[in-house]
Structure 1
Amino acid sequence: MSQDVADIAAAALPLRSEDDLDPLLERIGGSRIVLIGEATHGTSEFYRWRAALTRRLIAERGFSFVAVEGDWPDCHAVHCAVSGAAGSPEDPAEALRGFHRWPRWMWANAEVADFVRWLRAHNTARPGQQPVGFHGLDVYSLQDSLQSVLDYLREHAPEHVDTALAAFRCFEPYGEDPTAGPLVPLSCRQEVVALLRAVRERREQQSRDGLAPGFVAEQNAAVAEGAERYYRTMLGGGGDSWNVRDEHMVDTLDRLLQAYGTGAVVWEHNTHIGDAGATPMVSAGMTNVGRLVRERYGEGDAVLVGMGSYEGEVIAGRRWGATPQRFPVRPARPGSAEALMHEAVSGDDALFVFPPEQHQPDWQQQTLDHRAIGVVYGTEGGGYVPSVLGRRYDAFLHLDRTRALEPLHERETTAEEAETYPSGV
């Protein structure tokens, strides 16, 4: 056994039940932002352990909302369902079934359905208290967000409807096709900026309740503004479009924290929540959610939790827009972080809570290959991101052999959307 493997074995904590998350809860302490990652968007155990940690943060630490790598309008329907809003379905899984942008399985799956049902029951048991929310952070949903703003203004501020219609009509010929980004007139950006200004002015005149219709409309207007920038920069190459997307997600998180005033749990891919400064992303001029949150809130107020596996299976598409399939997750590359952990824990699951940098063993400070699988399953299934685990995360869940999650839909829609590095994360 190598020294690194021996050190990994010494650092491994058991991970068999939710009670085994106690050391991680202790590490989180009084931090008010916990970011929980995943190495794939199609692995059951990642979703279930993430939900287990989130349940404890909500029930025991009073965390007030979950923010996910999903579209604002679709996730708002789930938020209404878990909050028991009038007209929403009693079963929040019905709201998940309403997701329509590929890949629907990323949120419309049995694992998330179990969690949002628990969340509704938790909120129902606390009448008179602010419900724990469920919100989307992502920059997509341009057309849906524009339509939502238009509907809001028709009801609450008809004097601004013309502004919304101008933005809607500007983008209407291009739909949500990201390849049209360079073709969209520059005037479209002016239209969405004017729309965002109009909605914000309207909100300033109303209650500061962050979950009021005005807040929802403002966020949809911000999505439209962010989507315009994202699509315009995407085909320019480099990390600009990635940065636009992640900056938008953190800006949305900022607004939610201002509205709720207490703790946030963020669910995204490892490539978003693991600090980009511990990977080659930063040398390519790219940032990400984890790095931005640490910069804005300080490392003491944010805890970054990664997850990975050695082998198993995953739900993914063979290409963008394809019907999801179960694919193998092959045994991890020799010498990778996952392979070393597999050897150290003899095939068991394990929790690693990283100490402060000055107390970290060598393996936590080395650059190791670290697997990342997106929603598109390529020839090798996924790639590896060289990472210094002790700086990229504050803790890590190694789930040695994993299973594919269970989608709620048998087939996917074929609507195109922008692929993101690496392979749709």
Structure 2
Amino acid sequence: MPENMMTKDVRDWLSARALPLRRLDAGGPADDLRPLTEVLKNVRVVGLGEATHGTREFFLLKHRLIEFLVRDLGFRTLAMEAPAAAARSVDACVLHGRGDVRSAVAQLGFWTWKTEEVLALVEWMRRYNASVAEDRRVRFVGIDPQWPAAAVGRLDAFLRRTAPERAAALGNAFGFLATARPGSPPTPPGNSAGPYRN
């Protein structure tokens, strides 16, 4: 809100309660975040959003806040708006050091996660987990079903191993599902009217 639209009461309220951040980048002292300790006492889930997707500063601050939540407050799971099946590769990277972090992050589907800032966060999680006991390690999970390609690939691989005849019969359906995208489902083959019309 422009300053000329902000009443004196609002300015006074903000001035009395606002806590300045000393920096955005992660990896240093967290003294300026300590007041959050009391605010987050007994809290099990913390939501971190952003006013705009892709803004570097929001992701730098999220990284810093996640480090604080994990190291100082004992949080152990980072749940992101990403496909659950694709997130398993990232989880294997951070939890057990398996695989290439950059490749795993690239499979998350959304362009907002394919950034150097998110990559730096996931690499930090991997380093952190390598330095602590297993019960203090942080997990990476996906909670968004919009990009099913990774899940379809896992199901297809499972069926090819356990019931190859079923996998062959479902090939077209798997292809359709694997290419489905949020908000605009493709028209199934042979259905020129679209998937939602009779």
Q: Do both proteins adopt the same fold according to a TM-score greater than 0.5, normalized to the shorter chain? A: yes
- Taking the aligned partners of 1:161 and 1:129, their CA distance within structure 2 comes to 42
| Number of the residue aligned with 1:169 | 172
| Number of the residue aligned with 1:99 | 107
- Determine if contact 1:68/1:135 at 8 Å carries over to the other structure: yes
Q: Are residues 127 and 100 of structure 1, via their aligned partners in 2, closer, same or farther at CA, if it must alter by over 3 Å?
A: closer
What residue ranges of structure 1 are gaps of 5+ in the alignment?
Answer: 186-231, 236-425
- Determine if contact 1:68/1:137 at 8 Å carries over to the other structure: yes
| Number of the residue aligned with 1:135 | 141
Offset of residue 107 of structure 1: 1.1
- Determine if contact 2:37/2:73 at 8 Å carries over to the other structure: no
- Taking the aligned partners of 1:38 and 1:82, their CA distance within structure 2 comes to 24
Deviation by residue 1:76-122 (Cα, 9 ceiling, x = unmatched): 22211112354x13xx23432x3374x42x11212112211211111
Deviation by residue 1:176-196 (Cα, 9 ceiling, x = unmatched): 255446x559xxxxxxxxxxx
- Taking the aligned partners of 1:71 and 1:14, their CA distance within structure 2 comes to 35
Instruction: Give me the TM-score of the superposition, normalised by structure 1.
Output: 0.37
Structure showing the higher strand proportion among its residues? 1
Offset of residue 12 of structure 1: 1.4
Offset of residue 167 of structure 1: 5.0
| Number of the residue aligned with 2:83 | 71
Offset of residue 11 of structure 1: 2.1
Whose RCO is larger (CA < 8 A, sep 6+)?
1
| Number of the residue aligned with 1:19 | 31
| Number of the residue aligned with 2:71 | 59
| Number of the residue aligned with 2:152 | 146
- Determine if contact 2:83/2:148 at 8 Å carries over to the other structure: no
- Taking the aligned partners of 1:53 and 1:7, their CA distance within structure 2 comes to 24
Percent of aligned positions with the same letter in both sequences? 28
Where do residues 267-416 of structure 1 align in structure 2 (5 Å cutoff)?
none
Give the secondary-structure state (helix, strand or coil) at the position aligned to 1:37: coil
Give the secondary-structure state (helix, strand or coil) at the position aligned to 1:152: helix
Instruction: Give me the TM-score of the superposition, normalised by structure 2.
Output: 0.74
What residue ranges of structure 2 are gaps of 5+ in the alignment?
Answer: 1-6, 24-29, 190-194
- Determine if contact 1:79/1:133 at 8 Å carries over to the other structure: yes
- Taking the aligned partners of 1:70 and 1:100, their CA distance within structure 2 comes to 6
- Determine if contact 1:143/1:168 at 8 Å carries over to the other structure: no
Offset of residue 170 of structure 1: 2.4
- Determine if contact 2:77/2:138 at 8 Å carries over to the other structure: yes
Offset of residue 142 of structure 1: 2.2
Aligned residues: 178
